Amino acid sequence: MNSKIGLIGIVGPCKSGKSTLHSGLSKLGFEAKTIAQEHSFSPQMWKKLTNPDVLIYLDVDYENSIKRSKLNWTPADLEEQRKRLQHAYAGADLYIDTSNLTIPEVLDRAITYLEDHFS
């Protein structure tokens, strides 16, 4: 089944869980790539770098982002990253707000979407 899906791109602001979801999907045999473009000024960088078959956009609120790591940033910094990611957000196949989800819940939502749309 995984080969039917192709490349899965994962994008989102810092501490939204991109690397964690990538790891979980990869362990299950999915071809996934984290697209860390939240610091880029190129709105279409996600597409130029990977042109994924499926794009998953992860999001996180400010409070949970600083709980996950002692980032030295402000709510305005998070909003700036979201502005830079607007093109990816608009092109995403799946949006997951990871703020109040566990790691297994995020992985389950991604897998459920993939199974529902590619089985």
- Is the residue at 119 inside a domain? no
- Is the residue at 45 inside a domain? yes
- Is the residue at 118 inside a domain? no
CATH number of the domain to which 89 belongs: 3.40.50.300
Q: How far apart are CA 8 and CA 11, in angstroms?
A: 10
54's tokens: 């499926």
- Is the residue at 101 inside a domain? yes
pLDDT at 2: 58
Residue 1 has pLDDT above 50, yes or no: no
Mean pLDDT (whole number) for 29-40 = 82
73's tokens: 């940033």
Mean pLDDT (whole number) for 13-34 = 96
Residue 99 has pLDDT above 70, yes or no: yes
Q: How far apart are CA 16 and CA 61, in angstroms?
A: 8
- Is the residue at 82 inside a domain? yes
Burial (Cβ within 10 Å: 0-12, 13-18, ≥19) of residue 89: middle
Tens of pLDDT, residue by residue over 46-93, are 777 788 999 999 999 999 999 998 778 899 999 999 999 999 999 999
pLDDT at 42: 66
68's tokens: 């996950």
Enclosing domain of residue 39? 2-111
Instruction: Specify the number of domains making up the chain.
Output: 1
Average the pLDDT over each of 1-15, 85-99, 101-115 and give the range with the smallest value: 1-15
